[in-house]
Structure 1
Amino acid sequence: MTPKQVLQQWLEHFNNADIENISNLYAEDAVNHQVANEPVVGKAAISDMFAREFGNADMVCIPENIFEDKEWAILEWKDPKDMRGCGFFQIQNDKIIFQRGYWDKLSFHRLYNIPLDMGNTGQDHL
Structure 2
Amino acid sequence: MPLYHPEATNHQVAAGDPVVGRDAIIRDARGFFTAFPDSTTTLEAMHQDGEWVMIEWSGGATWQGEFAGRPPNGKTFQLRGCGFFHIVDDQIRFQRGYWDRAGWFLQLGIAVE
TM, length-normalised to structure 1: 0.68
Q: Which structure ranks higher in relative contact order (CA pairs < 8 Å, sequence separation ≥ 6)?
A: 2
Q: Gaps (5+ residues) in structure 1?
A: 1-20, 119-126
| Structure 2 partner of 1:103 | 99
Residue 56 of structure 1 contacts residue 114 of structure 1 at CA under 8 Å; is this kept in 2?
Answer: no
Q: Larger strand proportion, structure 1 or 2?
A: 2
Q: For residue 115 of structure 1, report the CA deviation from its aligned partner.
A: 3.4
Residues 52, 114 of structure 1: CA spacing in aligned structure 2 closer, same or farther, 3 A cutoff? Answer: farther
User: Equivalent residue for 2:35?
Assistant: 56
Report matched runs for 1:109-120 at 5 Å: 109-111=105-107, 113=108, 115=110, 118=113
Amino acid at match of 1:73: V
Query: Over the residues paired in the alignment, what is the CA RMSD in angstroms?
Result: 2.0
In structure 2, the CA distance between the partners of 1:25 and 1:116, relative to structure 1 (3 Å rule), is farther
Q: TM-score, normalised by structure 2?
A: 0.75
Identity %: 40
Distance 1:48 1:114 in 2: 24
In structure 2, list runs of 5 or more residues that go unmatched: 61-76
| Distance in 2, Cα, partners of 1:105 & 1:93 | 32
